[in-house]
Structure 1
Amino acid sequence: MSDQPLLADRFLRACAEHGDRLAVQDDRRSLTYHGLAEQVRKTARVLEETLTADRRRVAIHAHNSVDHVVAYYALLLAGRLPFLADAQFGPTELRHIADDCGIDAFLTDRPADFPLPARLRTVPGNRLALGLLDPGPAAGGRPASHPATATCRFTSGTTGRPKCLEFSHTAVLSAARSWTEGTGLTADDRVLCLAAFSNGLAFNTSLLPVLLAGAQLHLYSGLPTSAGIRRAVTRSGATRLVAFPLVYRLLAEAPQADPAGFATVTRAFSAASALGSEVKKAFEQRYGVPIADYYGIAETGPCTYERDPAHPTGQGSALPGADLRLRARPSGDPEILVRTASMATRYLNAPGLLEQRVDADGFYATGDTGRLGGGRLRITGRIAGPLNIAGRKIDPTEIEAVARRVPGVRDAVCFADRDARGEAVVHLVVATSRPSSRQEFLGICRSRLAAYKVPGRISFLRAIPRSSAGKVRLTELARLVAPAPAPAQPPAHDKDALR
Structure 2
Amino acid sequence: MADAGFFAAVRDGAGRSDDVALISGKRAWTYRELITSAEIFAGHLGRHPTTGLPVVVDVADAAVRAVVTLAADLAQLTVLHSDPGAPTDFGGLVVRDSATLPEPSEPPAVRTTDGGVELWTHTRAATHSLAGIPARSQIFLTSGSTGTPTGVVRPAATVLTDAHRIAAFMGYEQGLPGVVSTLAFHCYGFAYGIAAPLLHGTPIRHVPSRSIPSQLARAVREHGARTLVGLPFQFQLLAGTAAPLDFGELRMAVSSGAPLPPAAAGAITGRYDFALYNAYGSSETGALSAALSTGEQLPGEVGTPFPGVVPRLVPVDGVSGGGELQLRTDALAAGYTGTDGLLPLDFDGDWYRTGDLARIEDGGIRINGRLKNIINVAGKKVSPAEIERVLARHPAVTDVQVVAAPDDVRGQVPAARIVTSSGLTVAELLAWCQSRLAPHQMPRRVSFLDEIPRSAMGKPLKGPEPS
TM-score, normalised via structure 2 length: 0.76
The Cα shift of 1:274 comes to 0.8
Matched, 1:466 2:406: yes
Q: Tell me the SS of whatever aligns to 1:349.
A: coil
Matched, 1:52 2:52: no
Task: Write the mapping of 1:50-449 to structure 2, written as runs, cut at 5 A.
Answer: 51-54=48-51, 56-90=53-87, 94-95=88-89, 98=90, 102-112=91-101, 114=103, 117-124=106-113, 129-134=119-124, 136-137=125-126, 142-156=129-143, 161-221=148-208, 223-259=210-246, 262-306=247-291, 312-313=297-298, 314-332=301-319, 334-349=323-338, 355=344, 357-360=346-349, 362-384=350-372, 422-423=398-399
Q: Structure 1 residues 228, 308: CA separation in 2 closer, same or farther (over 3 Å shift)?
A: closer
Q: Distance in 2 between matches of 1:45 and 1:20?
A: 23
Equivalent residue number for residue 447 of structure 2: 482
Q: Structure 1 residues 476, 264: CA separation in 2 closer, same or farther (over 3 Å shift)?
A: closer
The Cα shift of 1:350 comes to 7.2
Equivalent residue number for residue 11 of structure 1: 10
* CA deviation string 1:314-373 (max 9, x = no partner): 21111121111111111225221122101011112177996462121x222212222211
Q: Structure 1 residues 421, 191: CA separation in 2 closer, same or farther (over 3 Å shift)?
A: farther
Instruction: Tell me which amino acid in the other structure corresponds to 1:6.
Output: G
Equivalent residue number for residue 383 of structure 2: none
Q: Distance in 2 between matches of 1:145 and 1:424?
A: 41
Q: Structure 1 residues 162, 471: CA separation in 2 closer, same or farther (over 3 Å shift)?
A: farther
Equivalent residue number for residue 39 of structure 1: 37
Query: Does structure 1 retain, via aligned residues, the 8 Å contact 2:80–2:139?
Result: yes
Larger Cα Rg: Structure 1 or Structure 2? Answer: 1
Q: Distance in 2 between matches of 1:131 and 1:205?
A: 27
Instruction: Tell me which amino acid in the other structure corresponds to 1:205.
Output: Y
Query: Does structure 2 retain, via aligned residues, the 8 Å contact 1:58–1:107?
Result: no
Q: Which runs of 5+ in 2 are unaligned?
A: 375-387, 418-442, 450-467
Q: Distance in 1 between matches of 2:272 and 2:97?
A: 36
Query: Does structure 1 retain, via aligned residues, the 8 Å contact 2:264–2:295?
Result: no
The Cα shift of 1:131 comes to 3.7
Query: Does structure 1 retain, via aligned residues, the 8 Å contact 2:166–2:196?
Result: yes
Instruction: Tell me which amino acid in the other structure corresponds to 1:105.
Output: V
The Cα shift of 1:181 comes to 2.9
Q: Tell me the SS of whatever aligns to 1:366.
A: strand
Task: Write the mapping of 1:23-34 to structure 2, written as runs, cut at 5 A.
Answer: 23-34=21-32
TM-score, normalised via structure 1 length: 0.71
The CA RMSD measured in Å over matched residues stands at 3.6
Q: Distance in 1 between matches of 2:106 and 2:409?
A: 43
Q: Which runs of 5+ in 1 are unaligned?
A: 387-414, 428-463, 485-499
The Cα shift of 1:196 comes to 0.9
Instruction: Tell me which amino acid in the other structure corresponds to 1:74.
Output: A
Q: Tell me the SS of whatever aligns to 2:368.
A: strand
Q: Tell me the SS of whatever aligns to 2:445.
A: helix
* CA deviation string 1:366-413 (max 9, x = no partner): 122222111111222222269xxxxxxxxxxxxxxxxxxxxxxxxxxx
Q: Structure 1 residues 273, 43: CA separation in 2 closer, same or farther (over 3 Å shift)?
A: same
Instruction: Tell me which amino acid in the other structure corresponds to 1:287.
Output: Y
The Cα shift of 1:253 comes to 1.8
The Cα shift of 1:85 comes to 1.7
* CA deviation string 1:145-168 (max 9, x = no partner): 423552111112898642111111
The Cα shift of 1:424 comes to 5.9
Q: Tell me the SS of whatever aligns to 2:333.
A: coil
The Cα shift of 1:225 comes to 1.6
| Range that drifts further, 323-332 or 471-480 | 471-480
Q: Tell me the SS of whatever aligns to 2:173.
A: coil
Q: Structure 1 residues 375, 350: CA separation in 2 closer, same or farther (over 3 Å shift)?
A: farther
Query: Does structure 2 retain, via aligned residues, the 8 Å contact 1:64–1:196?
Result: no
Q: Distance in 2 between matches of 1:165 and 1:266?
A: 33
Q: Tell me the SS of whatever aligns to 1:377.
A: strand
Q: Distance in 2 between matches of 1:45 and 1:171?
A: 25
Q: Distance in 2 between matches of 1:426 and 1:88?
A: 28
Structure in which a larger fraction of residues adopt helix? 1
Q: Structure 1 residues 252, 291: CA separation in 2 closer, same or farther (over 3 Å shift)?
A: same
Q: Distance in 1 between matches of 2:131 and 2:24?
A: 36
Q: Distance in 2 between matches of 1:143 and 1:70?
A: 22
* CA deviation string 1:95-128 (max 9, x = no partner): 2xx2xxx423243553446598332233315666
Q: Tell me the SS of whatever aligns to 1:379.
A: strand
Q: Distance in 2 between matches of 1:177 and 1:131?
A: 31
Query: Does structure 2 retain, via aligned residues, the 8 Å contact 1:65–1:221?
Result: no
Q: Structure 1 residues 312, 114: CA separation in 2 closer, same or farther (over 3 Å shift)?
A: farther
Q: Distance in 2 between matches of 1:350 and 1:339?
A: 27
